[in-house]
């Protein structure tokens, strides 16, 4: 029965991605509600509580279908990014200034840019045109490194105290903190970047524990993904049916896994003609190209899903349009590329 629900959920997700029309949404919502009701009517009373727990994620997904609207997804025009940039977020400690910025995340609805301001122990918020807006977690975070957003929840990994922090845009402060150094479930050893899937599960690159730690929206531990060839995962991204893990240690490469953690293949491996000298952050564009910050070559490199180099963006320097030890990277829904680096004059740059 649960397998039927899982198959139905996958069908819904695929249908929506291919044809995000209002009429289709209404039809799918009605079909799924009817299916759930039929299944529930046939379940014995004594097992209905378990059924409700098992189908919580599906019911949550259905509740959000009515909110989905058809929004054009911008594919970045990498060819023009060399000359078209907005530089903002000057180096410093005042509000809106950056000191060793690391992770970057984009709010899906507002397109606002969230930067893990590592040296200033807070998160800075900018518009997608570079205007400074606000701060998050002031006085509560210690060396924030990675960051991801799901609806009103902001999740931040703190490298210095091995914790994951959940903040909300309602309270603008921490509502939940988990972790501490260790190898048990719910503990971390140098957590780097993190991401969320469409229903809000949090995937954490638990670097020195050599695993991806998966949690629900309230940061309760669900399971781990491990693999014998996955050494030192530093960044992770999730698509509909894949988990992409960037590893730093030993032989830097990108592992492509199933959602269950089975390895499919590896690519962008150093020394095989697709060199990335040293990378800690990456993102996926709407075509599933890999966009990687290569901090030793002071550039951003774009690879096809097959691992072919498509574009190289940026040169070493501290002027506008130049990069110096690039770190976090993200793509806005309208196709802008956001990058932070240790550029002394322009640590936050928006390519458009």
pLDDT at 23 over 70: no
Backbone φ and ψ of 266, nearest 5°: -125, 150
What's the predicted TM-score (pTM) here?
A: 0.79
CB 173 within 8 A of CB 134: no
More confident residue, 239 or 52: 239
**pLDDT of res. 320:** 87
Top mean pLDDT of 72-81, 259-268, 320-329 is at 320-329
Q: Is the pLDDT of residue 200 over 50?
A: yes
pLDDT one-digit tens code per residue, 121-138:
999 999 999 999 999 999
Give the pLDDT of residue 38: 65
As a whole number of angstroms, the distance between CA 59 and CA 7 comes to: 14
Does the pLDDT at position 337 exceed 70? yes
* Residue found under tokens 């105290």: 161
| E strand or H helix at 6 | helix 2-18
Whether the CB-CB separation of 199 and 60 falls below 8 Å is answered with: yes
Confidence of residue 309 (pLDDT cuts 50, 70, 90): confident
Higher pLDDT, 134 or 308: 134
- For the segment 201-225, the average pLDDT, to the nearest whole number, is 97
CATH architecture of the domain 78-351 equals 6 Propeller (2.120)
Residue 346 in this model has a pLDDT that exceeds 60: yes
Q: Find the helix or strand (DSSP H, E) in which 10 lies.
A: helix 2-18
Q: Which residue has the higher pLDDT, 21 or 185?
A: 185
pLDDT at 268 over 80: no
For the cut 60, the answer to whether the pLDDT of residue 283 exceeds it is yes
pLDDT in tens, 53-62: 444 455 445 4
Let me know: does 173 contact 123? Beta carbons within 8 Å: no
Phi, psi of 161 (to 5 degrees): -115, 10
Domain ranges of the chain: 2-65, 78-351
pLDDT in tens, 147-198: 999 999 999 999 999 999 999 999 889 999 999 999 999 999 999 999 999 9
The chain-wide mean pLDDT, for the chain, equals 83
pLDDT, tens digit, 9 for 90 and up, residues 72-99:
567 888 888 866 788 777 899 999 999 9
Answer yes or no: is pLDDT of 295 > 50.
yes
Mean pLDDT of 253-274: 78
What percent of the chain is predicted at pLDDT more than 70? 75
Question: Which long-range contacts link 242-250 to residues 24+ away (Cβ below 8 Å)?
Answer: 243/203, 243/212, 244/282, 244/284, 244/290, 245/205, 245/212, 246/205, 246/279, 246/280, 246/281, 246/282, 246/292, 248/207, 248/278, 248/279, 248/280
Region 259-278: mean pLDDT is 72
Q: What percent of the chain has pLDDT over 90?
A: 57
pLDDT value for 50: 45
Q: Residue 232 pLDDT > 50, yes or no?
A: yes
């Amino acid at each position: 029965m649960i397998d039927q629900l899982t198959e139905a959920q996958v069908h819904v997700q695929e249908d929506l991605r291919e044809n995000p029309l209002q009429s289709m949404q209404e039809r799918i919502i009605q079909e799924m509600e009817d299916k759930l009701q039929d299944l529930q009517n046939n379940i014995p009373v004594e097992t209905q509580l378990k059924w409700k727990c098992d189908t919580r994620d599906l019911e949550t997904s259905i509740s959000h279908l009515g909110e989905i609207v058809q929004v054009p997804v911008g594919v970045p025009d990498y060819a023009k990014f060399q000359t078209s940039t907005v530089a903002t977020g000057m180096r410093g400690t005042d509000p809106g200034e950056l000191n060793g910025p690391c992770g970057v995340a984009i709010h899906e609805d507002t397109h606002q840019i969230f930067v893990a301001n590592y040296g200033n122990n807070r998160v800075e918020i900018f518009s997608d045109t570079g205007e400074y807006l606000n701060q998050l977690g002031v006085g509560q975070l210690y060396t924030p490194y990675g960051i991801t957003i799901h609806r009103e929840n902001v999740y931040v990994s703190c490298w210095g105290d091995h914790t994951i922090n959940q903040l909300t845009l309602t309270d603008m402060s921490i509502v939940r903190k988990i972790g501490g150094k260790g190898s048990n479930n719910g503990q971390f050893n140098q957590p780097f970047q993190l991401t969320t899937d469409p229903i809000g599960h949090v995937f954490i690159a638990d670097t020195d524990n050599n695993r991806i730690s998966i949690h629900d929206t309230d940061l309760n531990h669900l399971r781990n993904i491990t693999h014998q060839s996955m050494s030192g995962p530093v960044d992770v991204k999730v698509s509909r049916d894949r988990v992409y893990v960037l590893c730093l240690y030993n032989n830097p490469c990108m592992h492509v896994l199933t959602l269950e953690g089975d390895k499919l293949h590896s690519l962008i491996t150093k020394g095989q003609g697709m060199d990335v000298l040293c990378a800690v952050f990456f993102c996926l564009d709407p075509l599933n190209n890999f966009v990687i910050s290569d901090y030793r070559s002071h550039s951003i490199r774009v690879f096809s899903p097959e691992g072919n180099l498509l574009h190289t963006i940026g040169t070493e320097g501290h002027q506008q349009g130049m990069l110096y030890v690039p770190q976090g990277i993200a793509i806005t829904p309208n196709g802008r590329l956001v990058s932070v680096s240790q550029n002394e004059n322009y640590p936050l740059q928006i390519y458009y």
